[in-house]
Chain A
Amino acid sequence: MNGELEKLLHNNPSLWRGRDTVASAMTGIKTGFTQLDDILPWGGWPSNALVEVVAPQWGIGELQLLLPAMARLSRQGRWVIWLAPPYLPYVSALIQGGVDLNRTCIVPPENSNEDVQWSMEKTLRTDACCMALAWPGKLANHSIRRLQLAAETGSSLGVIFRHTDASASAAALRVLLSPENGGLKVRILKVRGGHRRDAVHLSL
Chain B
Amino acid sequence: MGTPDFLSTVELPLGETPIHEWRSVDKQASPTYSPLWLCIYLPQLALEVFNDLPPKAIQPHQKTGLVLVAADGPHVVQDEAHGRPIIHTVSPAAQSAGIAPSMPLAAAYALCPTLEVRKRDPNAETEQLKRLAAWAKQFTPIVSLEPPRALLLEIRGSLRLFGGLPRLQERLSRGLTGFGFCFRIAATPTPLASLLLARNGRPDVIERKQALRSALGQLPTTGLPLSTHLIKRLARAGIRNLHDLWRLPRDGLARRFGLELLHYLDRVSGILIDPRDSHRLPPRFVTELVLVEELTTKAPLVAAAQRLIERLCRYLRSRDMGTTRLELELHHIRQPATRITLGLRRNTRDEVHLLGLLEEHLNRIQLPAAVIKLGLNTQEMQPFTATNQTLFAQQRAFSDPAQRDQDWQCVMDQLRARLGTKHVRGLGICADHRPERSWSYERSTAPPRPATHARRPLWLLAKPQALPLRHGRPWRRGLLLLQSDPERIESGWWDGQDIRRDYYIATDTDGSRLWIFRDLNSNNAWYLHGYFG
Contact = CB atoms under 8 A, between A and B. Distances in A.
Contacts of A97: 458
A111 B459 CA distance: 20
Interface in B392-441: 396-398, 401, 404-405, 407-408, 411-412, 414-415, 418-419, 423-429, 435, 438-439, 441
A155 B414 CA distance: 20
Interface stretch (B232-240, B444-452, B494-502): B444-452
Q: Is the interface of A mostly helix, strand, loop or mixed?
A: mixed
A57 B532 contact: no
B474 to A, nearest CB: 15
B439 A88 contact: yes
Given A78-B398, A155-B396, A89 B424 contact: no
A128 B404 contact: yes
B443 interface: yes
A102 B442 CA distance: 10
Interface stretch (A26-34, A35-43, A114-122): A114-122
Contacts of B510: 56-57, 179
Contact of B408 (A87, A95, A128, A155): A128
A105 B415 CA distance: 11
Contact of A106 (B425, B451, B457): B425
A199 interface: no
Contacts of A95: 429, 448-450
B2 interface: no
B514 to A, nearest CB: 7
Given A101-B443, A107-B415, A127-B407, A96 B456 contact: yes
B172 interface: no
Contact of A123 (B396, B404, B411, B533): B411
A90 B408 contact: no
Interface stretch (A61-69, A136-144, A162-170): A61-69
A105 B424 contact: yes
Nearest to A57: B512
A129 B443 contact: no
Contacts of A198: none
B275 interface: no
A193 interface: no
B415 A122 contact: yes
A122 B414 contact: yes
A95 to B, nearest CB: 5
Interface string B142-185: 00000000000000000000000000000000000000000000
B427 A126 contact: no
A62 B423 contact: no
A126 B408 contact: yes
Contacts of A77: 401, 404
A92 B407 contact: no
A62 B533 contact: yes
Kindly name the residue among B405, B419, B425, B435 whose own CB sees the greatest number of chain A CB atoms within 10 A.
Answer: B419
B511 interface: yes
B462 interface: yes
B427 A60 contact: no
Contact of B456 (A87, A93, A204): A93
A111 B443 contact: no
Kindly name the residue among B439, B450, B462, B533 whose own CB sees the greatest number of chain A CB atoms within 10 A.
Answer: B533
Contact of B459 (A90, A96, A108): A90
B213 interface: no
B513 interface: yes
B426 A58 contact: no
Nearest to B443: A102
B29 interface: no
B450 A89 contact: no
B304 interface: no
B533 A88 contact: no
A78 B404 contact: yes
B520 to A, nearest CB: 22
A111 B419 contact: yes
Interface in B354-405: 396-398, 401, 404-405
B419 A115 contact: yes
B254 interface: no
A127 B458 contact: no
A108 B414 CA distance: 16
Interface string A149-188: 0000001000000000000000000000011101000000
A89 B450 CA distance: 15
A60 B511 contact: yes
A119 B418 contact: yes
A59 interface: yes
Contacts of B439: 88, 90-92
B461 interface: yes
Interface string A73-113: 00011110000011111111111110001101111101100
Contacts of A87: 459-462, 530-531, 533
A204 to B, nearest CB: 8
A61 B331 CA distance: 55
A64 B449 CA distance: 20
Contacts of B530: 87, 90
14 contacts: A90-B458, A90-B459, A91-B428, A94-B458, A95-B429, A101-B428, A101-B443, A107-B423, A107-B424, A119-B419, A127-B397, A127-B404, A179-B511, A182-B507
- The 7 A-B pairs at the shortest CB distance, nearest first, are namely A179-B511, A59-B531, A128-B408, A63-B533, A59-B512, A93-B456, A90-B460
